[in-house]
Amino acid sequence: MSMDRRSGCPINLSLEVFGDRWSLIILRDMIFGGRRHFREMLNGSMEGIASNILADRLKRLMELGMLTKADDPSHKQKAIYSLTEMAITLVPILAHLGAWGRVWLPVSDELSIRAELLEKGGQPMWDKFMDELRHEHLGMPFDTTGPSVRATLQAAYEAVVANKTLAASTAA
């Protein structure tokens, strides 16, 4: 909300945009989880964001130019949030962030598989993913060749979960 402008340093300004505990989490859920509605983000949030915080951050991210909001034709009260190009180009940063966290922090297997695949996929995979997001959120044309990056990541996640469940049940 407040435009600090503590300094014109790129890293500082980036921190002023998402140097808090929730903004990037929301963007992560929109980018990787495909969430577009308030309730989806609220209930689907793994970390349990509160509704007032979510409302505040959505507003802030819109003011910063990272999101836009539009009416959902299917429901007069429903709003669809879309990523802007500014937010879509965070994909490489999120990929790096995930890769770093996977190495240095106590990540869980099922939640780090996405980061692992995204790291291995590298720039080509990031580019493809960003094109998919531009299609979804900005209506850009897009030739759909094969499964989407998000679907691939999601499938890998579910495979790990299934595997873990299996291992737990056979051990019991």
User: Which residues would be at the binding site for a copy of itself (CB under 8 A)?
Assistant: 5-17, 19-21, 24-25, 28, 46-48, 65, 86, 89-90, 92-94, 96-108, 110-112, 115
> What is the DSSP secondary structure assignment for residue 68, as one 8-state letter?
E
* Helices and strands: H and E segment counts in the chain: 8, 2
CB of 161 vs DNA, minimal distance in Å: 24
Under the binding rule (CB under 7 A), the answer on residue 51 touching DNA is yes
Considering CB under 7 A, how many residues would be counted as binding DNA?
Answer: 27
In angstroms, how far is the first alpha carbon of the chain from the final one?
51
65: left (phi over 0), alpha (psi -120 to 50) or beta: left
- Choose among DNA, a copy of itself, none what residue 1 binds, the Cβ cut-off being 5 to 8 Å by kind: DNA
- Choose among a copy of itself, DNA, none what residue 111 binds, the Cβ cut-off being 5 to 8 Å by kind: a copy of itself
Under the binding rule (CB under 7 A), the answer on residue 83 touching DNA is no
Question: Tokens 């007069």, residue?
Answer: 76
The Cα–Cα gap between 9 and 82 comes to 28
Strand partners, 72: 75
Which two structure tokens, joined as six digits, stand for 10?
A: 């790129």
- Judged by the rule CB under 7 A, the positions of this chain that interact with DNA are 1-2, 20-22, 37-40, 42, 48-53, 55-56, 58-59, 69, 74-79
